[in-house]
Each structure stands twice: as C-alpha cells, then as structure tokens.
Amino acid sequence: MIAKMRYRGRLCLKYHRPFWKLYLKYLCAACVISFTSMFCVTLSEDLVDWFASFHTKIEVNRIAQEFQNDKTIYANTTAADEMSKKVRILCLVITTSGHLNKQIPVVNATWGTRCNKILYVMCTDKKQPDILNSCDVTESKSHLTRKVRFMLRYVYLHYLKDYDWILKADDDTYVIMENLRFLLSFHNPDLPGYLGYHFNMHLKQGYMSGGAGYVISRSGLKKVIEVAFKENGCPPDGKDEDLDIGKCLQMAGVPPLVSYDKYGRETFHTDKVWQHLYGTVPRYLKKYSWNGISDGGGCCSQFSVTFHHVNPQTMLLMHQMLYRTSVYGRQTPTDISDMFHMAKVLPLL
C-alpha cells in the first residue's frame, strides 16, 4: 500500500513539475513585457500616439486650417506687432518633400505665420515662394551640414540686408516667435553672435543644439560666409550639422550669446516641454548642457522660445494652449527691461 502511494506521488511530481515550470516561465515573461511596455510608454509618449493612430484618426490638416481662418480669438497683439517690425527674422526650416502634407501645413498654421519670412529647405519639384530647393545637396541625414551651408549661403546672397536674424529650425521644432523677438531685442544684430541651447562639448566656446534651433545675427552670418566657409577647418559636409556649423562660427569669431533669463532658466529646449518639466530628458543632456539641467519650475523660462521633437498633433495642442487659451484678467507687462543678459558666453577653460 505504501509503495503504491509513493509511486502515485512520483507520478504527480512527474506531471506537475513541467506545468509549474511552464507557468513560472510565462509569468516571468509577462512581467518582463509589462515592465518593458510601461518603461517605453514612460520614456516616449510618441509610442502612445503610435498605438492610438491605429484606432483614432486625428484630422491634423483640418484643425490647422481652422486655426488659420479663426477670427473668434480676443487678443491684443499691438506690442508683438511692433516688435515684429523692429526685430526681423528670416526662418529657415529644414525638412523633406515627404513632409509637404504633414508637418509643413501645421507649421504654416501655427508658429510659421509669425516669421517675417519663412523658407522650407528641401529637395522637391514643387515650386512655391516659401520653398528653397536644395536638390543640389543629397537629401540625406549624412549631408545635413552641406544642406545648412547651402541655405546660409543663399540667405547671404539674397536676403542679408533684409533681416536682422536668421533662425535655423527643424520641422518638428515649435518656436514661440514673440518670445524669440523679445530675447533678441536685448542683442545687436550688427554685432556677430548666435543663440540657442548651448552645449559644452567638443569646442572651446561650445555650440548650439540643432534640434532646439539657433539664431545667427546678420553680422555673424556675414562673417561665417566670408571667413569660415573659405577655410579648410570649417567642415563642408557631415551629419552633425550643429557641431559642424558651431566649428565654422567659432572659426569666424562669432561668439555664443547668453540665451537663458536672469533666473538661469533656459529659453531654447532640446526636447518636449514635459520632458524638461518632469526631468525626463535624455541622459546625454546632463553631460552636454552648458548651463546645467533643472526640472520643475526652474526648467523653462517664462519667455521660452523653442521645444524640439514636437509632432504635428502636439504642435497643434501647444498652439491651442499658447494662442487660443487665455487667463482672464492676467496680462504680461511689456516694459520688462532686465529679463535677459546682454553678454557673450565665457569660453571653457
């Protein structure tokens, strides 16, 4: 009797062990997948947008059109309009022909309308007044430096005297143009200089992040074209255009100017607004940031200028909150004279 019970016990263990092993294996796999998914969603809200796109179609172009034609918003733009005449900015947006019906209509409906002039730099057969055809340059991320050099030279030849500052931005950069003009009003366009999110690596004076966008004074543009672009040390091509153009600007003697406000808060931003707010920016930024990284209330200037990695849907959301949503009875004073520093950034030792 005892022998039979032992035999049955061995049979139970024989058949149940694989079941429990399999159960534990699947449980562990499920946990790993769940935690990985949560990490990815936390790390990148673009993943959420990607999943949502399968069952929810956002009519981006329709909303963009409504933003352009809407006359129901109460706003006094007198001060901004006056500043637009005093601080003239030519916006150069790096893009591709594949984005003609995606990002570009949204940029045109939001911040692009506030440039004194905007040119989309791409290779395309389509001819429009706002398109600068760059088919002479290979349409590839490996040739971004050459593409930027091409557009800067074009501006130098055709628009140098017409504008005070030249803004270089990507098509997924959101720019608050009124704040950019306010910041630039503290600087002289007839002196060489450029502003942006300041990196502290590779160069003595550092360089500006390409994704966050950067602005060059007309005097700085003149110097970089006439001096640096003729020198061998100024890279003619490459994929790291922000570093390469930074080398050219340093070679031409064009210094970086202070772009953070008097409280040390940044105006140009390399990533999305909530990444800077929550402190979830990429790790490399802690090493690269000239001014250091702050989250929470210290992340961003009240007069912030740019945010990067902004898809069309988020661009519309930001525009809605900035330009179509108001707090009744609360207005920004227009006589602020000490918010920014009229200074060059000191070079690294």
Residue 4 falls within a domain, yes or no? Answer: no
Radius of gyration, alpha carbons of the chain: 26
What is the pLDDT averaged over residues 216-240? Answer: 89
Nearest to 114 by CA among 146, 91, 144: 91
Given a cut of 80, is residue 52 above it in pLDDT? no
Q: What was the pLDDT predicted at 201?
A: 82
164 vs 24, more confident: 164
Q: What is the pLDDT of residues 116-125, one digit of tens each?
A: 999 999 888 8
Q: What was the pLDDT predicted at 339?
A: 84
Domain that holds residue 141: 76-324
Q: What was the pLDDT predicted at 153?
A: 94
Q: Sorting pLDDT into bands at 50, 70 and 90, what band is 1?
A: low
Average pLDDT over all residues of the chain: 83
Residue 349 falls within a domain, yes or no? Answer: no
Please state which of the ranges 63-72, 133-142, 206-215 shows the lowest mean pLDDT: 63-72
What is the pLDDT averaged over residues 274-290? Answer: 85
Q: Sorting pLDDT into bands at 50, 70 and 90, what band is 330?
A: confident
34 vs 169, more confident: 169
Q: What was the pLDDT predicted at 187?
A: 92
The total number of structural domains in the chain stands at 1
Given a cut of 80, is residue 241 above it in pLDDT? yes
Q: Sorting pLDDT into bands at 50, 70 and 90, what band is 10?
A: low
Please count the other Cβ atoms lying within 10 Å of the Cβ belonging to residue 309: 18
Q: What was the pLDDT predicted at 42?
A: 47
Given a cut of 70, is residue 345 above it in pLDDT? no
Residue 137 falls within a domain, yes or no? Answer: yes
- How distant, in Å, are the alpha carbons of 27, 123, 272, 292 from that of 299? 40, 37, 11, 10
pTM of the shown model: 0.81
Residue at 331: amino acid letter: Q
Residue 27 falls within a domain, yes or no? Answer: no
Given a cut of 60, is residue 50 above it in pLDDT? no
Q: Where are the beta strands (DSSP E) in 42-160?
A: 89-94, 117-122, 131-133
Q: What was the pLDDT predicted at 23?
A: 64
Q: What is the pLDDT of residues 168-217, one digit of tens each?
A: 999 999 999 999 999 999 999 999 999 999 988 888 888 899 989 999 99
Q: What was the pLDDT predicted at 329?
A: 85
Contact of 216 with 249, CB cutoff 8 Å: yes
Residue 270 falls within a domain, yes or no? Answer: yes
Residue 28 falls within a domain, yes or no? Answer: no
Q: What is the pLDDT of residues 296-308, one digit of tens each?
A: 888 899 999 999 9
Given a cut of 70, is residue 242 above it in pLDDT? yes
Residue 70 falls within a domain, yes or no? Answer: no
Contact of 140 with 172, CB cutoff 8 Å: no
Q: What was the pLDDT predicted at 112?
A: 92
Q: What was the pLDDT predicted at 41?
A: 47
Residue 48 falls within a domain, yes or no? Answer: no
Please count the other Cβ atoms lying within 10 Å of the Cβ belonging to residue 53: 11
Residue at 80: amino acid letter: A
Please count the other Cβ atoms lying within 10 Å of the Cβ belonging to residue 11: 10
Q: What was the pLDDT predicted at 45?
A: 53
Residue 169: helix, strand or coil by DSSP?
A: strand
Q: What was the pLDDT predicted at 47?
A: 54
Please state which of the ranges 20-24, 126-130, 147-151, 323-327 shows the lowest mean pLDDT: 20-24
Write the CATH number for 318: 3.90.550
Nearest to 146 by CA among 67, 238, 256, 25: 238
